[in-house]
Structure 1
Amino acid sequence: MSKQLPGFFEHDNEPVPGLPAELPAGEQILWQGTPKLGGLARRALHLRWMSVYFVLLALWRGATLAGEGAGALEVIQGAAFILLLGAVPMGLLLAYGWASARMTMYTITSRRVVIRTGVALPVTVNIPFAVIGSAGVAPHADGTGDIALQVMPPHRVSWIALWPHTRSWHLTKPQPTLRAVAQPEQVAQVLGRALAAASSMPVRPVANQPVRAADRPAAEAMA
Structure 2
Amino acid sequence: MSHDDFAFEPVEGLPERPPEGERILWQGRPSWWALTCRALNLYWVLGYFLALAAWRFATLFDQVGAAQAFAASFPFLILGAIVGLLLAAFAFVQARTTVYTITNRRVAMRIGAALTVTFNLPFRQLRNASLDLRRNGTGTIALEMESDARLSYLIFWPHVRPWVMRRTQPALRCIPEAEIVARILSEAAEAAVATPQIEHRTPQPAFAAE
What TM-score bracket applies, with the shorter chain setting the length?
0.7 to 0.9
Is structure 2 residue 117 aligned with structure 1 residue 123?
Answer: yes
Aligned length: 191
One-letter code of the match for 1:14?
A: E
SS state at 2:160 partner? coil
One-letter code of the match for 2:65?
A: G
1:178 is matched with which residue? 172
One-letter code of the match for 1:103?
A: T
Is structure 2 residue 20 aligned with structure 1 residue 19?
Answer: no
2:192 is matched with which residue? 198
Is structure 2 residue 101 aligned with structure 1 residue 100?
Answer: no
2:130 aligned to which of 127, 136, 140: 136
Is structure 2 residue 51 aligned with structure 1 residue 51?
Answer: no
SS state at 1:155 partner? coil
SS state at 2:16 partner? coil
One-letter code of the match for 2:90?
A: Y
One-letter code of the match for 1:124?
A: T
Structure-to-structure mapping, 1:48-87, within 5 angstroms? 48-67=43-62, 69-87=63-81
SS state at 2:64 partner? coil
Q: Quote the Cα distance in structure 2 between the aligned partners of 1:182 and 1:100.
A: 15
2:27 is matched with which residue? 32
Give deviations 1:58-93, integer Å, cap 9, x for gaps. Answer: 1011111124x0222221112211112222222211
SS state at 2:121 partner? strand
TM-score normalised to the size of structure 2? 0.86
SS state at 1:126 partner? strand
1:58·1:79 contact (CA, 8 Å) conserved in 2?
yes
Q: Quote the Cα distance in structure 2 between the aligned partners of 1:187 and 1:152.
A: 22
One-letter code of the match for 1:96?
A: F
Structure with the greater alpha carbon radius of gyration: 2
**1:157 Cα offset (Å):** 2.1
**1:117 Cα offset (Å):** 1.5
Percent of aligned pairs sharing the same letter = 43
1:147 aligned to which of 135, 141, 144: 141
Q: Which runs of 5+ in 2 are unaligned?
A: 196-210
Query: Which of 1 and 2 has higher RCO (CA within 8 Å, sep 6+)?
Result: 1
Q: Quote the Cα distance in structure 1 between the aligned partners of 2:90 and 2:184.
A: 29
TM-score normalised to the size of structure 1? 0.81
2:137·2:179 contact (CA, 8 Å) conserved in 1?
no
SS state at 1:13 partner? coil
Shift of the 148–102 alpha-carbon distance from structure 1 to 2, 3 Å rule, reads same
2:198 is matched with which residue? none
2:131·2:139 contact (CA, 8 Å) conserved in 1?
yes
Runs (4+) of structure 1 exceeding 3 A deviation are none
Give deviations 1:203-222, integer Å, cap 9, x for gaps. Answer: xxxxxxxxxxxxxxxxxxxx
